[in-house]
């Protein structure tokens, strides 16, 4: 199967899984469920679900188990976007080419949409018949909660907030990104792998090395795109980092060095996958996608 | 052991468990962890942990398992208070006798504190060596996530928001409270019970009946206290429901009928516990506490 066809099929499966795990608007409260679906369905690059699908192929995870894990990951990601866009945080009006949730609905609804999407992710992981046995359900909840919480994504956002208008060193910037986006990307790969035959410690270590490189590359490319792309292509407000005086790779090491760093991280990601051989084909292709993307 | 001594010991154990499961301020990001501890430690009635402890005694749950479950429950409850107090929601300045998190810190921190406390609850439930086996971890996550999410607590808050300034019927008011506070109180009892020897369907049904009565009684008494108590006793702003034009039992059926309703619900709670005999002593005492409390 070509990578393009694998991508399209995987994206379709993610959308179907999200449809399945999000409460319908026929269930009360309808407005909240409508807003949750507005935020989560029909948009986004779905990088985390794709990483999860690719890692699941490595350990022979069932389609059903991987779909459950990837839906949970995307719900956590979307909740973080909804809260991050709120006036108290980044105050952004555009996301995935649509008005943000607090603009389309209201602030209180955006707050509850994020809160409920986080809960819904853990509901999905522990729903009977979701393809995961008890031990896998518990393990995947642990991975996802740790990646989401104060030593993961939420902690990275707290560090991000404190860094606005202040000059970060490159190690400080890396620490922030390792938590803010890196933790959930790492969990995406680990959860996909753990949804199949439990990988040994060496395999998990290799996958973590891969994730660390891809996670950082993702952020470096994000910073590059914020400078060189336009809002229509990005689906969110371009040039916002500089306007908000946020520290970025481009602001700290410059555009050319940022491009070279992204290329090096791509090589690191591929090197980490060597022990897996051809079984890691999709993960390797996703590393290329992350580095070469234009939005 | 007297009820008072049992209460004091249980409250000490809850505080110790929260101390244990909340990241320390020596771990980055320090400010976020400080704010999480400010919100969760050293205050509150701890109704949910107490219900969890009492239900755990019924099924022979280990002290360790019950402490894990009760800490997770309280973290979810506290996250909901932190978000509920924010300007986009109730905009309240006082909670548990202290400035609310967004007042003491800032709005963005309050948002992240709530988000991270929710994650931390699921971390606690799935941490190795927490007294729960894999099946119990998965079951307790399921109970807590369902009670927290869009068909539980967050859904109840959404309905609450939509009801401000509008005349609710008594059935509508009950639906709102069953979700907003009832779902988590019910989960408190179920999680305590499930942390021990798995109860049969009839026992769970009896416990749900108990929780439904106690949950509604809790809300009716809350509405009564909002009218008759002062802010110093309550530890939060008194008279706020009337000022905000929120529908309450007192506004719909009056003060005397509200008092009679609370007494009837207390009788219902005791009736539901009959099959358990003396093993349900603490649950029976807690039903009395909920109805007779003065704050």
pLDDT tens digits, residue range A152-198?
Answer: 999 999 999 888 778 888 899 999 999 999 999 999 999 999 999 99
Find how far residue B261's CA is from the centre of its chain: 21
Angle between helices B47-58 and B281-292 (to 10 degrees): 160
With contact defined as beta carbons under 8 Å apart, do B16 and B8 qualify?
no
Say whether residue B28 is in contact with chain A using an 8 A CB cutoff.
yes
Q: Which architecture, in CATH terms, is B3-288? A: Orthogonal Bundle (1.10)
Beta bridge partners of A99: A94
A24 touches chain B (CB under 8 A): no
Identify the CATH assignment for A3-292 out of 3.10.25.10, 2.30.30.40, 3.10.450.50, 1.10.600.10.
Answer: 1.10.600.10
Residue A32 pLDDT: 98
- CA-atom Rg of chain A in angstroms: 18
Is B202 exposed, middle or buried (CB count within 10 Å of its CB: 0-12, 13-18, 19+)?
exposed
In tens, the pLDDT along B229-269 reads: 876 676 667 677 777 777 889 989 999 999 999 999 999 99
Nearest chain B residue to A34, by CA: B150
Please list every residue in chain A whose beta carbon sits closer than 8 Å to the beta carbon of residue B23: 150-151
Q: Tens digits of per-residue pLDDT, A82-94?
A: 999 999 999 999 9
B103 interface with A at CB cutoff 8 Å: no
**Helix, coil or strand: residue A79:** helix
Ramachandran class of A129: left when φ > 0, alpha when ψ lies in -120 to 50, beta otherwise: left
Chain A CB contacts of B112 under 8 Å are 150, 154, 157-158, 161
Interface confidence (ipTM) of the complex: 0.95
Whole-angstrom distance, CA of residue B192 vs CA of residue B186:
10
In angstroms, the Cα distances linking A188 to A47, A183, B172 are 9, 9, 41
Query: First and final CA of chain B: distance in angstroms?
Result: 25
Report the candidate in B49, B62, B55 with the shortest Cα–Cα distance to residue B16: B49
Of the listed ranges A113-127, A219-233, B121-135, the one predicted with least confidence: A219-233
Classify burial at A169, counting beta carbons within 10 Å of its beta carbon; exposed 0-12, middle 13-18, buried 19 or more: exposed
Question: Which alpha helices (H) appear in B85-234, and where do they start and end?
Answer: 101-104, 107-126, 134-148, 153-163, 170-177, 183-194, 201-228, 231-234
């Amino acid at each position: 199967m070509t990578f393009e066809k694998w991508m399209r099929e995987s994206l379709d499966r993610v959308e179907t899984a999200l449809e399945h795990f999000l409460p319908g608007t026929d269930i009360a409260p309808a407005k909240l469920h409508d807003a949750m679906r507005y935020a989560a369905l029909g948009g986004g690059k779905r990088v985390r679900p794709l990483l999860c699908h690719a890692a699941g192929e490595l350990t022979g995870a069932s389609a059903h188990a991987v779909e459950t894990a990837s839906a949970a990951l995307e719900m956590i990601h979307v909740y973080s976007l909804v809260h991050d866009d709120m006036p108290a945080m980044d105050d952004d009006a555009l996301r995935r080419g649509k008005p943000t949730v607090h603009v389309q609905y209201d602030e209180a609804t955006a707050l509850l949409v994020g809160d409920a999407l986080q809960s819904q992710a853990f509901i999905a992981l522990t729903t009977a018949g979701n393809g995961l046995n008890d031990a896998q359900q518990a393990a995947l909840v642990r991975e996802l909660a740790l990646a989401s919480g104060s030593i993961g994504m939420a902690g990275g956002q707290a560090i991000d907030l404190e860094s606005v208008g202040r000059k970060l060193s490159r190690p400080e910037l890396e620490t922030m990104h390792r938590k803010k986006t890196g933790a959930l990307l790492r969990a995406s790969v680990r959860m996909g792998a753990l949804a199949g035959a439990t990988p040994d410690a060496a395999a998990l270590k290799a996958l973590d090395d891969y994730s660390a490189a891809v996670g950082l590359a993702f952020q470096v490319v994000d910073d590059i795109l914020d400078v060189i792309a336009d809002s229509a292509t990005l689906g969110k407000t371009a040039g916002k980092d500089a306007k908000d005086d946020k520290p970025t790779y481009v602001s700290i090491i410059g555009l050319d060095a940022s491009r070279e760093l992204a290329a090096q991280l791509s090589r690191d990601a591929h090197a980490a996958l060597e022990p897996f051989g051809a079984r890691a084909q999709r993960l390797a292709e996703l590393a290329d996608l992350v580095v070469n993307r234009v939005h």
